[in-house]
Chains A and B, each alone.
With several copies, the nearest count.
Chain A
């Protein structure tokens, strides 16, 4: 396996970085958040033009057939700039679900997503988190010419501006059966769909969505027996989310090192106090660990060899190491680090959000241990 970026990946990453440095600096982002806008359509258009929206999709649907490593190359700067746009939710979750489907409706919808004309959201997590797709319990009852959806999805990222929802639901069995899951395309304006929107702590727009007897025609079922599709799609999205987190961690390490080298107390830069300098060293160790795990797991995935424990190790590490770095960055900044005005806390909140999505580090470490102890890994 090769772990170094190709020249193409370097170029891709550089061009994303340049775009964001130009148009998405921290102040600009904060102004957008304060204005209440759920995203910047200009950035989305720019990403579409650069081919980033189509990056992970096959060429047949207008994509570029990019690898996991390609996606990671762009997701790191997304994290370093705290992007609130629905790249993960519309492209890597909803979009990839549609891409796995051969239903005409799915393909038609996907085409609009790839061009950036429309966005989609992935309505999947339930309760306080759905670490394993087998835990989905939202009911899709067979009805005349289709299905009736009833239940609730929570923390649907990018729901506010989404033109369509990709909803995981259960046509038979009960959680935690892996069998009986399907994916449906649902129009958010359809009768019976209630959306309670909010902003997440990391600035993304999201919603809790209630489905109250929502009628779905059969041709809007885009996958049945969907557990494996869900696992594949979510695993790839997890790697991308982890890349965002690693991007945020890198920014925290850099900014905190700079701050500690310039901020003076007791007549000297605080980086000269050994407690601070060793904390910086620990941040760097954590960052090197996080990035090593990310790059290695990415290469495993591109080699078709990333199993569930590999993804769990990555997700667990990123959540743990990210928290460590974020908390250390805030403590090192002191009062300033507690304010909404500097980016430090925002990076930390991005990391915390990523940790909570799709099973937190506690869940994933335990899943790894369970698999090992019962002979699975």
Chain B
């Protein structure tokens, strides 16, 4: 329970609000408004992280000794809420929500000292090397191999869906170090200090929205030091499972949806219904908005129960339930956004979308992001374990053996 009084929390809220009103640059704000993905525009995301880090607020979730804020659950919620009252870019999740917490839990002291500060400052960006062209849902079938050679591993194979690999300077990955036993055995978790080792080749892949957000990375006899290993050799599967816990259970996902819905609702004040009157006064719009808002609210309620330590936190299916709910809601919100954008969503406007381009969008800024956001959000039910895999896991929790 909270150790702060209502007055202290109000003061904290005021402090956060004041800071967020002044700290971000215009480019960072523009990047926030133009975010169409879980991944903000890269450069502005990194710049924003550096600014937050100077304030000491880059990673509220982390333990204080590693650069966290030491905030209470209420304070973290207040920070999230205030953050989402503005259109600020989300911080890039791979480093802060995945590698960082993992190293804090399982890394060596050397690894922590070397990597954590540069994660906080945004100097390092870690791309995730998990999936392979033939290992998607069936991740454990991965084949990209690492063969020990002296103090090094020699890596051969390829990784795909490595988000922002072409902008990253570091990579965490799963490699096959043994073909013995079950496929989950024989997997090792590696940290790569660079993404330009000799023999590494990064090919950006253009997505449906016209952006290259993810990449394929090819490894041809790439030599990397064994010191980058996290956990023991052939124990990488359990390291990855540990990390997934952080990825899925990291923090509140509802505030960003609340923000998008608010933008949609505001936009509807300026739109005309084809049946006459303002779109915001249209009963069908109101009904659909209400149903969607109810589900977003329930996601928030669920998240607050979890953060408040409700006993359902012990349910092993919880991360899968959270992932399923969140991803499917993102998609529904994105559809609602395209409904409001109408025809205006049909034009490709990569130039106007680029932060700092100075190109005005042809419609509103919400119209501008609607279709890229919709298209990009189709991936939410695919990445981080498809929702089919999640439902398998949820169902498993219901089995009466």
Contacts and interface: CB of A to CB of B under 8 A. Distances in A.
In the complex, A touching B (Cβ < 8 A) = yes
Which bracket fits the contact residues of A?
A: 35 or more
B113 interface: no
A338 B265 contact: no
A292 B138 CA distance: 32
Contacts of A273: 388
B268 A289 contact: no
B297 interface: yes
Contacts of B375: 201, 345, 349
A262 interface: yes
Interface in B245-274: 261, 265, 268-269, 271-272, 274
B348 A366 contact: no
Max chain A CB contacts within 10 Å: which of B141, B269, B284, B290? B290
Contacts of B271: 128
Given A338-B208, A339-B207, A356-B343, A2 B1 contact: yes
Given A198-B349, A289-B302, A313-B294, A262 B400 contact: yes
A312 B275 CA distance: 15
B5 to A, nearest CB: 15
Interface in A200-218: 200-202, 206, 208
A171 interface: no
B208 A368 contact: no
B378 interface: yes
A349 B400 CA distance: 26
A347 to B, nearest CB: 11
Max chain B CB contacts within 10 Å: which of A155, A296, A338, A349? A338
Contact of A280 (B284, B304, B305, B395): B395
Contacts of B141: 265-266
A304 interface: no
Max chain A CB contacts within 10 Å: which of B138, B304, B347? B347
Contact of B379 (A264, A338, A356): A338
Interface stretch (A43-51, A82-90, A227-235, A328-336): A328-336
Given A155-B343, A208-B362, A295-B310, A365 B395 contact: no
Contacts of A253: 398
Contact of A372 (B274, B293, B392): B293
A373 B343 CA distance: 22
Interface in A248-283: 253, 257-258, 261-262, 264-267, 270-271, 273-278, 280-282
Contacts of B390: 281
A219 B345 CA distance: 36
A162 interface: no
A253 B321 CA distance: 15
A198 B399 contact: no
Contact of B272 (A127, A261, A367): A127
A62 B214 CA distance: 51
A152 to B, nearest CB: 11
B361 to A, nearest CB: 11
Given A356-B345, A373-B281, A368 B293 contact: yes
B383 interface: yes
Interface in B365-401: 371, 375, 378-379, 381-383, 386, 388, 390-392, 394-395, 397-401
Nearest to B342: A128
Contacts of B378: 327, 330-331, 337-338
A261 B400 CA distance: 6
Interface string B180-194: 000000000000000
Contact of A335 (B269, B302, B383): B383
B322 to A, nearest CB: 9
Given A154-B343, A198-B348, A273-B388, A368 B290 contact: yes
A129 interface: yes
A317 interface: yes
A295 B305 contact: yes
Given A128-B342, A281-B395, A316-B294, A335 B382 contact: yes
Contacts of A291: 312
B222 interface: no
A132 B297 CA distance: 22
Max chain B CB contacts within 10 Å: which of A257, A275, A285? A285
A278 B325 contact: no
A124 to B, nearest CB: 11
Contacts of B1: 2
A144 interface: no
B10 to A, nearest CB: 15
A293 B208 contact: no
A331 B382 contact: yes
B298 A339 contact: no
B400 to A, nearest CB: 4
A163 interface: no
A66 to B, nearest CB: 21
A363 interface: yes
Contact of B290 (A199, A202, A370): A370
Nearest to B383: A335
Contact of B207 (A154, A201, A338, A359): A338
B137 A334 contact: yes
B287 A313 contact: no
B325 A201 contact: no
A61 interface: no
A155 B343 CA distance: 7
B294 A340 contact: no
A345 B207 CA distance: 9
Interface in A281-301: 281-282, 284-285, 288-289, 291-293, 295-297
A285 B394 contact: yes
Contacts of B286: 366, 369-370, 372-373
Nearest to A315: B294
Contacts of A282: 391
B291 interface: yes
B285 interface: yes
Contacts of A366: 275, 283-284, 286-287, 290
B288 A334 contact: no
A280 B398 contact: yes
Which 4 A-B residue pairings sit nearest by Cβ, starting from the closest? A369-B290, A128-B342, A369-B286, A296-B301
Given A198-B362, A295-B310, A338-B214, 14 more contacts: A3-B308, A128-B341, A128-B342, A196-B362, A253-B398, A265-B136, A265-B141, A275-B388, A284-B317, A295-B305, A313-B293, A334-B382, A352-B338, A362-B339
Interface of A: 1-4, 125, 127-129, 131-132, 135, 154-155, 176, 196, 198-202, 206, 208, 253, 257-258, 261-262, 264-267, 270-271, 273-278, 280-282, 284-285, 288-289, 291-293, 295-297, 312-313, 316-317, 320, 327, 330-331, 334-335, 337-341, 345, 348-349, 352-353, 356-357, 359-360, 362-374, 377
16 contacts: A127-B342, A128-B272, A198-B362, A199-B347, A265-B137, A281-B392, A316-B294, A334-B136, A334-B382, A335-B379, A340-B207, A348-B208, A363-B274, A367-B290, A369-B290, A373-B281
